Amino acid sequence: MSSAGELSVSRGQSESEGAGAAAPILPTGGTRGSPARDLALLGRQVIYEQRAFWRNRRRALTSFAFPLMFLLIFGAIIHGRVASLHNIPYINFYVPGIIAYAVMVIGFTNIAMAIAYLRYDGILKRLRVTPMPPTLYLLAVVLSNVLTIVAATVLLLVVGVALYGAHLEAGELPGFVLTLMLASACFTSLGIAVARLIPRPDSGMPVLMFVTLPLSFISDVFFPLEKGAHVLREIGELFPLFHVSRGLQPAFEPFSRGGGLVGSDVLVLLTWSAVGLWLSRRTMQALSKQD
């Protein structure tokens, strides 16, 4: 065994990555984090988070593979059928619905579970004695999750269009992207907010499923509910998922049902985002809490 006396100490120079190489030689007094250094730190952490996410089968399965499985199975079953409501191919309704579902499962459930594990596993406790600020770390977790949302969306789009012939209206893509951004912000903030309420991760998953699954049945995800058809649809309208589905739909069927992202959808999503953000502060306080 080599003694520590032989250990070389590299100052301000990363072992494996170039990003740190630009850091100046520092006095032993340390530094305040400069914005540029923190940005590099953030970028690297996002990459580590992505790596850890895709390696973890349980996480990748529950958040990424689930919506894909729904699309593959349901898409195969309904393939070629005509939706009864508006004489349009069901798949054109179904692809945006599943994408909305995926954004919810990844944005909300996955981030809540990720934070619950950070606390439960004691990773936050370790981070707190390192120079990595907990908020910066959490930001990396969130950004990594957004990358996962983007990856899921792209994959579902490709499968829907290439495999099942869903029709994508390129002109409606800006509204589609805007909806995705609002949905990510909304679900992520709500996910951070509820993370505080999960004492043990193993009990968190069923509880979160208990919220997300029923919601998706009344939010135009798996089948359309016509306005006034049922009181459940009015309930669904109160929650963000319904409005995400609506906002994503026109990219596939612009002239159907007069749908699309309208002011009221944006308003509902922004309201929920604000609520989520406000409640997230409690989580953030709990995360950086010293006793």
Binding site for another protein (CB under 8 A): 1-17, 20, 23, 26, 28-33, 41, 44-45, 48, 51-53, 55-56, 118, 120-126, 128-133, 288, 290-291
- Residue 184 contacts residue 107 (beta carbons within 8 Å): yes
Which residues, at least 6 apart from 152, have a Cβ–Cβ distance to it below 8 Å?
63, 64, 67, 68, 99, 102, 103, 106
Q: Return the structure tokens found at 76.
A: 């195969």
Give me the least distance between CB of 174 and another protein, in Å please. Answer: 36
Residue with tokens 């003694």: 3
Give me the least distance between CB of 287 and another protein, in Å please. Answer: 12
Per the rule left: phi > 0, alpha: psi between -120 and 50, beta: everything else, 87 is left
Nearer to another protein, 13 or 264 (CB): 13
H helices present in 56-81, as ranges: 57-60, 66-78
Nearer to another protein, 54 or 255 (CB): 54
Give me the least distance between CB of 65 and another protein, in Å please. Answer: 16
Nearer to another protein, 81 or 126 (CB): 126
Which residues, at least 6 apart from 95, have a Cβ–Cβ distance to it below 8 Å?
71, 156, 157, 160, 161, 164, 166, 252
Nearer to another protein, 51 or 79 (CB): 51
Nearer to another protein, 60 or 275 (CB): 60
Give me the least distance between CB of 198 and another protein, in Å please. Answer: 15
- Residue 23 contacts residue 37 (beta carbons within 8 Å): yes
Give me the least distance between CB of 7 and another protein, in Å please. Answer: 5
Give, as one character, the DSSP assignment of residue 82.
B
Which residues, at least 6 apart from 31, have a Cβ–Cβ distance to it below 8 Å?
37
Give me the least distance between CB of 40 and another protein, in Å please. Answer: 8
Nearer to another protein, 21 or 170 (CB): 21
